[in-house]
Amino acid sequence: MEDRGIPSSSPVQAFSSSGHLPIAGRTSASRLATSTRADSAPSSSRTGINRPMLATASRSQGSSLLDALNSHSASQSRAIASQVDDEPPNKRRRKEAAEQQQQQAALKSAKKAEERISKEVEKNRKKAEKASIMATKKDWTDANKLRKSKTETFTEMVVDVDGALTAPASAPSTNPTNDPIQPSFAGALHGSGITALQTRLHEEGATVHILGSSEPRGASSTNPLSTALGIATPLPDLPVIRLRRKIKARLDVEHRIWVPLGSATMQHEPTAIIMLSAAEVLAHLARGQGALAQMIPRVKANLASGGGVQQSQAFQLFFVVVGLQMHFRKVAQKNDQDWRKAVQTSLARRTEGEGIVETGAGAGASTSTSTSTARKRKGQVAETFPQVDQEQAELELLRLTMEHGVYVIHAKALVDAVEAVVDVVGEVGIRPYKMVANSHLPFCTDASRTRTVATDEDTYMSMLQQIPRVTEPAARAIQEEFPTMRSLMEAYDAALVEDDRRTGSKKASRTDDLLADCMIRNRKDGQASSRRVGPALSKRIGFVLTHDDPLALV
């Protein structure tokens, strides 16, 4: 069989080795039984069969093999089907019911898992949406919260300080005639000044940036602050402090609300501060009349052209002058000492001419010592400060204010200059919120400047103290004489009638002297007193309470 190409695993090979065909179904089994009975017959009967019958048997066996080969693949499935068909009906139904229950449980579990996931997703979505709404509401609430104090707006401010303010001040260069021609502008905050300024601004919550180098430079050098601020035209070499604001909301003028922005942006404020020491101011003024004022228009134009400042906005410029008044005070003291010394010298010469000789060497020693000290002080003043008259300096600073709108702030020392800068930063910070607050009912009095009282007597006292020069003891003295405002006004009405009846008389006006004899029994500190209100204050109070001109000066 192998020579004919029949595989050994085929049913034909199995038949050739065992002598039996594999039983695949009922038809094959019946055929096998027929062939077995035929083989078990006596040999005598087999020998009696003729050849045609043998040929017929061999053909039937060949067809059986072909049927077995064709139905081999289907016999396996029919065998399994027959086994299932042989199972009892109840067991099969129970099995099918169990399978259906398992499928339903799996579907139910998958459905529950899907619902749980969808609920979790919906819950997270609602939670995120609620958080977004709350964040938006908080942003709107914070943006529309009216700031009433400067301390609340310092966190929005960024202060850009010129690095030249931290440099040591150098002496101005001079020509052979000892006239200053190119002063150096640096060093107003040298040393502890810049540290104090940074500390104060950080305490309030502002941000401080120092731009440029800390080297002294002259008037012809380039200001690094112009480069840092994006200004094309170089600034004149004046140490400038610029202010910027962190914008988190914009004002909707039509609806009068603040609209929060998605992200904070930086905006340059139309305000700058120039800090100059007394020596620097006098060095400018020594160059000629109007030398300092000529630089202001260029400073304003350059500062307004950079940093996003609109041309329509009025640019504010503050001049913080450190130590100028103290310098003139010292000069005045030195002049007084020189005058006294000159008087003493002239008196000494006059007494010597009259023959009166002063005894002791102490007077001469003290005179020589004071003279040397005065010369030393005079030399120091002449060396440190250019010789500029006080009247000329005040006129030049007044010109800055009147012609160019520059706000001049005098500071005695660096501590006062630092506080002046901090005050300016705070005022600039609260400025937009003040404008919004004052735009609504602008005729009303600022609530922060009003005082509240508990009783009518306190209200009466407060009303009287609003009149200039009326102190609390004077108001109390008037209240003791006239307990209520009604009684006081009735007394004034009677006084006016009496004055009208005495028209043309030379006697004093009853209205002016109505409160002159009110006794002030205690001063403000509680000490006893026996003075009167007086005719001057009585006349002032009578003028305020009886006059009908609202524009009259008190």
DSSP calls for 252-266: ETTTTEEEEEEEEEE
pLDDT of residue 63: 61
Tell me: do 471 and 508 sit in the same domain.
Answer: yes
Residue 534: give the domain boundaries.
456-546
Q: Is residue 492 domain-resident? A: yes
The enclosing domain of 507 has a CATH number of 1.10.150.670
Q: Which one-letter amino acid corresponds to residue 500?
A: D
Q: Is residue 516 domain-resident? A: yes
DSSP secondary structure, 325-366, as one string: HHHHHHHHHHHHHHHHHHHHHHHHHHHHHTT----SSHHHHH
Tell me: do 428 and 460 sit in the same domain.
Answer: no
Are 407 and 321 in contact by the 8 Å Cβ rule? The answer is no
Tell me: do 273 and 421 sit in the same domain.
Answer: yes
pLDDT of residue 122: 93
Q: HEC states along 376-395?
A: HHHHHHHHHCCCCCHHHHHH
Tell me: do 192 and 272 sit in the same domain.
Answer: yes
Tell me: do 315 and 270 sit in the same domain.
Answer: yes
pLDDT of residue 283: 81
Tell me: do 397 and 512 sit in the same domain.
Answer: no
pLDDT of residue 85: 58
Nearest to 210 by CA among 225, 227, 193: 225
Q: Which one-letter amino acid corresponds to residue 457?
A: E
pLDDT tens, residue order, the chain (554 aa): 444 444 444 444 444 444 444 444 444 444 444 444 444 444 444 444 455 554 555 555 556 666 666 666 666 666 666 665 566 778 878 888 888 888 888 898 999 999 999 999 999 999 999 999 998 888 888 888 878 788 888 999 999 988 777 766 555 444 444 444 444 544 567 667 788 888 899 998 899 988 865 555 544 444 544 454 444 444 445 778 889 999 888 888 788 788 888 788 888 888 899 888 888 888 878 877 877 888 888 787 777 665 555 544 577 889 999 888 888 888 888 888 989 899 888 888 888 766 544 444 444 444 444 444 444 444 444 345 667 888 888 888 888 888 888 999 999 888 899 999 999 999 999 988 888 777 765 556 555 556 677 788 889 999 999 899 899 999 999 999 999 999 999 999 999 998 888 876 666 788 889 999 999 988 877 788 888 999 999 999 999 999 888 788 87
Pairing relation of β-strands 240-252 and 207-211?
Answer: unpaired
Tell me: do 279 and 413 sit in the same domain.
Answer: yes
Q: Which residues contact 322 (CB under 8 A, 6 or more apart)?
A: 188, 275, 276, 277, 278, 411, 413, 414, 416, 417
Tell me: do 395 and 523 sit in the same domain.
Answer: no
Pairing relation of β-strands 180-182 and 173-174?
Answer: antiparallel
The CA-based dihedral angle spanning residues 417, 418, 422, 424, taken in that order and rounded to the nearest 10 degrees: 20
pLDDT of residue 130: 92
Tell me: do 430 and 461 sit in the same domain.
Answer: no
Give the separation between CA 554 and CA 548, rounded to whole angstroms. 12
pLDDT of residue 191: 65
Give the separation between CA 329 and CA 335, rounded to whole angstroms. 10
Tell me: do 406 and 531 sit in the same domain.
Answer: no
The enclosing domain of 269 has a CATH number of 3.40.50.10130
Q: How many domains does the chain have?
A: 2
